[in-house]
Amino acid sequence: MAKDYEISNGVFTHYTGSETETFTIPDGVTEIGGQSFSRNSMRCVVIPEGVTTIHKNAFSDCRRLVEIVFPETLTEIRQQAISFCGHLDEIVLPNSLRSVGDRIFYDCCGIHEITIYGEHFDLFEELFDGYDWDEIANDYGLCEENTTEVSLEIRRVMTDELPRLFINGEYDNLYMDEGTRCECIARVLKHHPSNENLLHTAQAHLPAIFGHLVHDPETVQFLLRQGVMTEQTLDACIEIAEKCGASDTQKLLTEYRAAR
């Protein structure tokens, strides 16, 4: 019987099967290769002990995926390793994890619970900044620098992947620079434009967030209808639209200003 996957030198490189429930990666694998599970339809993947690394986009656009079982040998999750998996709900990361790339759960908006280093967080209710990561590093014998790196990235999961925090207005104490903050607010706004808290947040960050909205006339028009833009903000946004070559948005804003 032909195998429905490919393994090369310990790296799981490609899954070609049609499993829709649970797939268990075979023993002997040490790494999960990039795009190895891209656009598959299974609901659960079990990663065996012995796997140390998950590469970029390993789990990409797996729209039905609700669970990944991680091994206690896992030390590294690379950039956007798990992306566009909107039905992932709860994540339990192993204590062995030492390094994470940028946006490891990119656009996985369904995640609301994460367990890491023995600490469980309901991300709809709790913030990370109340926890002593230095103490956690000592408890697990980890390098303080690496533990801080991981904790900051998981905080970014909260800010970048969890619209609920913005919707509830609970973003002020989260780790992120202003550029990331503006990008996140704009992206969440596109999916939840009518939320009152989010509209207040958007208004407070205009025109800074407008560069992330300028090519989305529909969202811009909604903001205009809600009266979010002041006259000063409107002028600044028209300049941004012109600089970005967003002619439809520029026309929309100019006509709105003329009609006021």
Model pLDDT for residues 171-187, shown as the tens digit of each residue? 444 444 567 667 767 76
Is residue 187 included in any domain, yes or no? no
* 153 and 75 together in one domain: yes
- 41 and 147 share one domain: yes
What is the rounded CA–CA span in Å between residue 40 and residue 17? 8
At 127 the three-state DSSP class reads coil
Residue 259: partners with Cβ closer than 8 Å, 6 or more residues away: none
Same domain, 129 and 207: no
CA angle 87, 66, 14 (to 5 degrees): 105
Cβ–Cβ < 8 Å for 114, 103: no
The per-residue pLDDT for 138 is 53
CA distances from 70 to 52, 95, 145, 186, 193 (A): 10, 10, 23, 32, 35
User: Residue 204 is part of which domain span?
Assistant: 199-259
Q: Do 12 and 65 belong together in one domain?
A: yes
Q: What is the pTM of this model?
A: 0.53
Q: List the structure tokens of 53.
A: 């690394």
Q: What is the pLDDT of residues 69-111, one digit of tens each?
A: 999 999 888 888 998 888 888 888 887 877 777 777 777 767 7
Chain segment 202-221, per-residue pLDDT in tens = 888 899 889 989 998 988 99
Domain total in the chain:
2
**174 is a domain residue:** no
